[in-house]
Chain A
Amino acid sequence: MPPSNLTPATAIDITSFPFTVSVDPGASGNILYYKLTGPAANCIVGILVDNPLWTSGHYLPEVSILDSGLANYLGGFSTSDNALQVPVSTGQQIYIKIRNVVGTYTVGDLVNLSVILPPNGVVAAGNLLINDDTNFFPMCIIDIAGNVVKFLEFPAGERGEILPSGISLWQDRIDAGFNPAGSGVTGDTVSLFNASFVKITDISGIIDNADVAECIIVSNRVNKFYVVRNNSTSLITVKTIDNTGAVGVITWTLPTNAVRCIAACPNRAETILYYASGNLNQPVRRYDLVNNIELSTFYPGQGVNYSVLKDILVLADGTIVIAFYNNAGSVQTTKIIHFDSTGTILRQWNYNGNNGMAGEVVNRIVYNKDDSSSSFWVWLFMPINSDETIWEFPVKSKFLELSTVTGAILQSIVVQNFSVGKSSSSGVWDGRRFGPSTSCPFLLMPTVSITPPEPLAPDGIYFVSPNKATRHDSYYNSIEKKIPNPAIKTALLGE
């Protein structure tokens, strides 16, 4: 008997998670449809299909995602054996379409479908925050064991910065918040969030989608953000935004020799801005924020074919960490250099890749959770696909905490990358059904207390259980809730 769900109209409704099913597809041309509605308190689902009996010539299931109008979702997801993580807002409906891409159905072939929800843990200090620069994809939060803690609906963007207070400022490249079901209106703004990642406000007029290059968002590491804008007129301007969202009255205009500014950072006294162009063989420059003039060059550059990467860190002790890369030829050379405040090199770390086939290369660097000068974190890309350039589709990422005192690796974790929702590894590596994007902002959760919103109790059939051992209300999805505020109060005696 063929499966009943061979059309979108007969799609099987997935109403609880985890959902697993093993189905005999029945024929080579049979397409199976499932559908689900975005569950409460989650913004992403993990989907995996396979045929456990698959060898060449058998039914090879390929999963693709359709929106509620049966059009390709978010430009199209499809894979035959990679884990998918699909963003879906609460209440939003999507379809899962499973078809045979190659081979011929043979009796015994099966389609195994697994749909799971991500972890929904508590964000803690030291967690790695990796936002996505692809519209509608959420921020991934990872603990220092490399496990996904949770996902947060968040605006997509290239840049962000978090203060020790937990208040953060992010580029929002679509100016529409996180809304996969929305219109995806193009825009560009910066948005301020509180320590629980609840938006405080959008701040308009700071950047624009006509800018020639992405903005830079950094801070004084206390209470003020600096936003460097690569204007469409090639002017490079700098403005401040404080931790309440107030925009500073001063606008600095940097010299045009820093065209397409890629990295910048003020010193802690906010007297000097270190900055660099993203073009090849450019120095690291300094600008006097007090007197509004250019100062002498901080560092003349790493040499021919080298560029500055996206981050300049000014540590609490005034020393400076900058990353460089050289993408010429078959060997990608990246290095991180620790300078004193005069530009003298204190230490250097080298990471080289071999045309993407081996080695590790630097992507981003970031302050540690305590904002101390003793260490910083680096995000390395690990072996990548041979036919891709180095910063696209790396299979895995490695995150290291490096000591500025000894140069040693203090902590090291490896995670599975997901590029536009698709695992960069075939199958499931190390059981990782979820993971961070390969791009782009990377920050560490500072030492502040975050209370995530409680998960919502799902709908369904329940019963009153007088003999229940735990005197909590038990809901589906393993949600336990205290009986809400049992109380009696008399008019005379009070509660």
Chain B
Amino acid sequence: MGLRDHEPILIEEFSGWWDRGDPESVPSDHFIVADNVQYFNSGVETRDPIDKYQTIGTPLGKILRFYDYVMQSGQSLIVLVEGGKIYHVIGADVMHGPLLTIPEMTDFGFVAVNGRAYITPFKTYTNSQGKNYELGIKNEFLYVYKGDGTPARKAGGPPPTGGALVAALDVDGLTDIGFHLIAVVYETDTGYLTALGPEVFASLEFDGAHKILVSNIPVSPNAYVKKRHLVSSKAITNYNGDQKGYQFFFIPDGNIENNVDTTKVVQYFDADLLSDASHLIDNFTEIPSGVSLNTYHSRLVLVGEFGTDETLKDLPVGITDNRSVARVSFAGEPEAISKVDGLIIAPLDGNPLTNCQEFRDVLYLYKMTRTLGYSDNNDEPATWSEEVIDQGVGAPVHGVATVLDSGGVNVDFLLIVDWSGLMLFNGTYARPELSWKIEDYWMAQVRNDFRYMQIVNDSLSKKIWITLPPPNQHIMLHADYGNGIDSKNIRWARWLFDVKVATVALIETNKVVLGAIASAS
């Protein structure tokens, strides 16, 4: 049969890479190989090249992880390199750090709140069956970095300590009559309000005719304490000696705008005590580290905690860590997390929480194969109702796509990396999964190492990049959903590099930044 007997095949659209089933089953408008190419309109071309990001004399190497850090003054990268060191990279020629060094840290979670960076160190553990899982490092904590080049410090802070606080009647003034307790709260440079102190609160029988002189006010040894506040109980009848058993309120005009003065004169009526400070007593002074950070209803959410000596006390038999605990802060106070009721306990199925994400007013918590939803009921997080969204689909620690340079994820859908494929979530998981065309390749990835998979979504140019686990770290998956974000219209390709790409982020709107851990060979 001559060539003239062949029916010509017209390919009007290049529909991308297909790796599913036998090569003979590949549709004619798809490719059995699509390496280092990108798609435009109906065409295909060689991918864009990469270039060096840093121009300074000593650029960072051995990159393990980075995130887009949106500061008040612009965008930057928070970068973890081998050795457990975190740096702050601002553009091509400015770098601060190391801001934080924790040799055990091989990965970290991050969220920016009000221009401040919250950093949680974590690492990979392996159970007796050889299964890898990620948890915060035991006895490590959440850190906060102000973005100014100064070292990161533990979020939160210790309460006032020292000698007993003293209260005495001062000059003529007006107060309610009765027995009152007075204590002190520190305020840090990140706005965190510590628990009440010192160890012995001041107590005084107000006579109603004098102002109150508070003295021996503790001074913090930590330079990050910028202010102090006096708090007081209302009049107590039949005081039982349990100074923390009463409700405390911020005293109007009880602020001390420095960390120097040791006396303060106040006068107030009980009716003036409106702003409750009692919850501060139960807050963490040091917040246990986890694997993932995010925000929900202006609260900080932290999941994947191993625990600390403090939080690991008195656990039930058979439970050795807090892998199913999510910590949730008070609204607007990202470092104020109650030890008592600022938590959510996901189902204790032995699998750790891996990720957290707000979407359409619901907080979603993920395990590797579970998706759970929680709704804020305007009460404490421990009371929030739980809904099991999907018991077959979950996300690894970097498996929820971030969008553009926002550091957030919302473009009316979520992209979730799951063992079964790249999932589109719009309240439910849409099937077939977006990676349906390349299912064979997706399934060939090492499931035990899905922690290496990180995804970013350039919603502007409608492109997706995904890093891959070893031994494919020199490859990134690239997808173009310009023709539609569904399993049929998405167009896939592989991008190969001469380096092993460990992390990816979008910065300056939609500049794709890659972090390389090593040479590819």
A89 to chain B, nearest CB (A): 14
Q: Interface readout for A455-468 with B: 1 if CB under 8 Å, 0 if not?
A: 01111111111101
Task: Verify if B30 is at the interface (C-beta below 8 Å from A).
Answer: yes
Identify the stretch in B234-242, B328-336, B507-515 within 8 Å (CB) of chain A at 4 or more residues. Answer: B507-515
CB nearest to A40 among chain B residues: B519
Within 8 A of B (CB), among A452-495: 456-466, 468, 470-476, 481, 483-493, 495
- In the complex, the answer to whether B57 meets A20 with C-beta atoms within 8 Å is yes
Task: Verify if A19 is at the interface (C-beta below 8 Å from B).
Answer: yes
Within 8 A of B (CB), among A6-26: 13-16, 18-20
- Please report the C-alpha to C-alpha distance between residue A463 and residue B54 in the assembled complex, in whole angstroms: 10
- Please report the C-alpha to C-alpha distance between residue A461 and residue B515 in the assembled complex, in whole angstroms: 5
A455 to chain B, nearest CB (A): 9
Identify the stretch in B40-48, B197-205, B281-289 within 8 Å (CB) of chain A at 4 or more residues. Answer: B40-48
Contacts of A463 in B (CB 8 A): 50-51, 53, 507, 511-514
- In the complex, the answer to whether B66 meets A459 with C-beta atoms within 8 Å is no
- In the complex, the answer to whether B498 meets A456 with C-beta atoms within 8 Å is yes
Interface size class, chain A: 35 or more
- Please report the C-alpha to C-alpha distance between residue A483 and residue B47 in the assembled complex, in whole angstroms: 8
Contacts of B57 in A (CB 8 A): 16, 18-20
B499 to chain A, nearest CB (A): 5
The listed residue (A457, A470, A488) touching B520 by CB distance below 8 A is A457
Identify the stretch in B31-39, B245-253, B302-310, B397-405 within 8 Å (CB) of chain A at 4 or more residues. Answer: B31-39
The listed residue (B47, B52, B77) touching A460 by CB distance below 8 A is B52
- Please report the C-alpha to C-alpha distance between residue A486 and residue B54 in the assembled complex, in whole angstroms: 26
Contacts of A464 in B (CB 8 A): 47-50, 511-514
B77 to chain A, nearest CB (A): 7
Within 8 A of A (CB), among B44-84: 44, 46-54, 57-63, 66, 77, 79, 83
A86 to chain B, nearest CB (A): 18
Greatest chain A CB density within 10 A among B11, B36, B513, B519 is at B519
- Please report the C-alpha to C-alpha distance between residue A456 and residue B51 in the assembled complex, in whole angstroms: 15
B29 to chain A, nearest CB (A): 8
Identify the stretch in B20-28, B445-453, B482-490 within 8 Å (CB) of chain A at 4 or more residues. Answer: B20-28
- In the complex, the answer to whether B49 meets A488 with C-beta atoms within 8 Å is no
B400 to chain A, nearest CB (A): 21
With A16-B58, A457-B519 already in contact, the answer to whether A490 and B28 are too (CB < 8 A) is yes
Task: Verify if B521 is at the interface (C-beta below 8 Å from A).
Answer: yes
Task: Verify if B516 is at the interface (C-beta below 8 Å from A).
Answer: yes
Task: Verify if B365 is at the interface (C-beta below 8 Å from A).
Answer: no
Contacts of B521 in A (CB 8 A): 456
Q: Interface readout for B462-505 with A: 1 if CB under 8 Å, 0 if not?
A: 00000000000000000000000000000000001111100000
Contacts of A491 in B (CB 8 A): 23-24, 26, 28, 32
Task: Verify if B89 is at the interface (C-beta below 8 Å from A).
Answer: yes
B459 to chain A, nearest CB (A): 16
Contacts of B512 in A (CB 8 A): 463-464
Task: Verify if B9 is at the interface (C-beta below 8 Å from A).
Answer: yes
- In the complex, the answer to whether B26 meets A490 with C-beta atoms within 8 Å is yes
The listed residue (B23, B30, B36, B60) touching A461 by CB distance below 8 A is B60
The listed residue (A19, A20, A468) touching B49 by CB distance below 8 A is A468
- In the complex, the answer to whether B89 meets A461 with C-beta atoms within 8 Å is yes
- Please report the C-alpha to C-alpha distance between residue A143 and residue B26 in the assembled complex, in whole angstroms: 55
- In the complex, the answer to whether A15 meets B58 with C-beta atoms within 8 Å is yes
- Please report the C-alpha to C-alpha distance between residue A465 and residue B508 in the assembled complex, in whole angstroms: 13
Contacts of A459 in B (CB 8 A): 61-63, 499-500, 516-519
- Please report the C-alpha to C-alpha distance between residue A462 and residue B60 in the assembled complex, in whole angstroms: 10
CB nearest to A480 among chain B residues: B49
Contacts of B61 in A (CB 8 A): 15-16, 458-460, 476
- Please report the C-alpha to C-alpha distance between residue A230 and residue B519 in the assembled complex, in whole angstroms: 45
- In the complex, the answer to whether A475 meets B514 with C-beta atoms within 8 Å is no
- Please report the C-alpha to C-alpha distance between residue A461 and residue B53 in the assembled complex, in whole angstroms: 6
- In the complex, the answer to whether B513 meets A462 with C-beta atoms within 8 Å is yes
With A460-B52, A462-B514, A465-B48 already in contact, the answer to whether A488 and B34 are too (CB < 8 A) is yes
Contacts of B31 in A (CB 8 A): 488-490
B228 to chain A, nearest CB (A): 30
Contacts of A475 in B (CB 8 A): 52, 498-499
- In the complex, the answer to whether B519 meets A458 with C-beta atoms within 8 Å is yes
The listed residue (B33, B46, B59, B499) touching A483 by CB distance below 8 A is B46
CB nearest to B54 among chain A residues: A461
Contacts of B52 in A (CB 8 A): 460-462, 474-476
Contacts of B498 in A (CB 8 A): 456-457, 473, 475, 481, 484
- Please report the C-alpha to C-alpha distance between residue A152 and residue B499 in the assembled complex, in whole angstroms: 23
- In the complex, the answer to whether A15 meets B60 with C-beta atoms within 8 Å is yes
Contacts of A40 in B (CB 8 A): 519
- In the complex, the answer to whether B49 meets A483 with C-beta atoms within 8 Å is yes
CB nearest to B45 among chain A residues: A486
- Please report the C-alpha to C-alpha distance between residue A40 and residue B36 in the assembled complex, in whole angstroms: 24
- Please report the C-alpha to C-alpha distance between residue A493 and residue B27 in the assembled complex, in whole angstroms: 12
With A16-B58, A463-B511 already in contact, the answer to whether A457 and B499 are too (CB < 8 A) is yes
- Please report the C-alpha to C-alpha distance between residue A342 and residue B238 in the assembled complex, in whole angstroms: 126
Contacts of A18 in B (CB 8 A): 57
- In the complex, the answer to whether B58 meets A474 with C-beta atoms within 8 Å is no
A473 to chain B, nearest CB (A): 5
- Please report the C-alpha to C-alpha distance between residue A483 and residue B14 in the assembled complex, in whole angstroms: 21
A90 to chain B, nearest CB (A): 9
- In the complex, the answer to whether A14 meets B58 with C-beta atoms within 8 Å is yes
Contacts of B519 in A (CB 8 A): 40, 456-459
Contacts of B54 in A (CB 8 A): 460-461
CB nearest to A453 among chain B residues: B521
- Please report the C-alpha to C-alpha distance between residue A491 and residue B52 in the assembled complex, in whole angstroms: 36
- Please report the C-alpha to C-alpha distance between residue A464 and residue B500 in the assembled complex, in whole angstroms: 15
A407 to chain B, nearest CB (A): 51
CB nearest to B27 among chain A residues: A491
Contacts of A19 in B (CB 8 A): 57-58
CB nearest to B461 among chain A residues: A466
With A457-B499, A468-B48, A470-B49 already in contact, the answer to whether A485 and B58 are too (CB < 8 A) is no
Contacts of B24 in A (CB 8 A): 491
- In the complex, the answer to whether A462 meets B32 with C-beta atoms within 8 Å is no
A9 to chain B, nearest CB (A): 10
CB nearest to A41 among chain B residues: B519
- In the complex, the answer to whether A486 meets B50 with C-beta atoms within 8 Å is no
With A459-B61, A462-B514 already in contact, the answer to whether A474 and B35 are too (CB < 8 A) is no
Contacts of A493 in B (CB 8 A): 9
B194 to chain A, nearest CB (A): 30
Contacts of A489 in B (CB 8 A): 31-34
- Please report the C-alpha to C-alpha distance between residue A465 and residue B58 in the assembled complex, in whole angstroms: 21
- In the complex, the answer to whether B30 meets A490 with C-beta atoms within 8 Å is yes
The listed residue (B11, B37, B516) touching A486 by CB distance below 8 A is B37
- In the complex, the answer to whether A462 meets B37 with C-beta atoms within 8 Å is no
A300 to chain B, nearest CB (A): 59
With A461-B79, A462-B513, A465-B50 already in contact, the answer to whether A484 and B60 are too (CB < 8 A) is no
- In the complex, the answer to whether A486 meets B36 with C-beta atoms within 8 Å is yes
Greatest chain B CB density within 10 A among A460, A465, A473, A487 is at A460
A19 to chain B, nearest CB (A): 6
- Please report the C-alpha to C-alpha distance between residue A471 and residue B50 in the assembled complex, in whole angstroms: 9
With A19-B57, A476-B59 already in contact, the answer to whether A458 and B499 are too (CB < 8 A) is yes
Q: A473-B49, A484-B498 are in contact. List 4 more A-B contacts (CB 8 A).
A: A461-B66, A462-B51, A463-B513, A487-B36
The 10 closest A-B pairs by CB, nearest first: A457-B498, A456-B519, A489-B33, A486-B36, A464-B512, A461-B53, A491-B26, A465-B51, A486-B46, A459-B516
Q: Which residues of A contact B (CB under 8 A)?
A: 13-16, 18-20, 40, 456-466, 468, 470-476, 481, 483-493, 495
Q: Which residues of B contact A (CB under 8 A)?
A: 9, 11, 14, 23-24, 26, 28, 30-37, 44, 46-54, 57-63, 66, 77, 79, 83, 89, 496-500, 507, 511-521
18 A-B Cβ contacts within 8 A? A14-B58, A15-B62, A457-B497, A458-B61, A459-B61, A460-B63, A461-B60, A461-B514, A461-B515, A462-B52, A462-B513, A464-B49, A465-B50, A471-B46, A484-B498, A487-B36, A488-B37, A490-B32
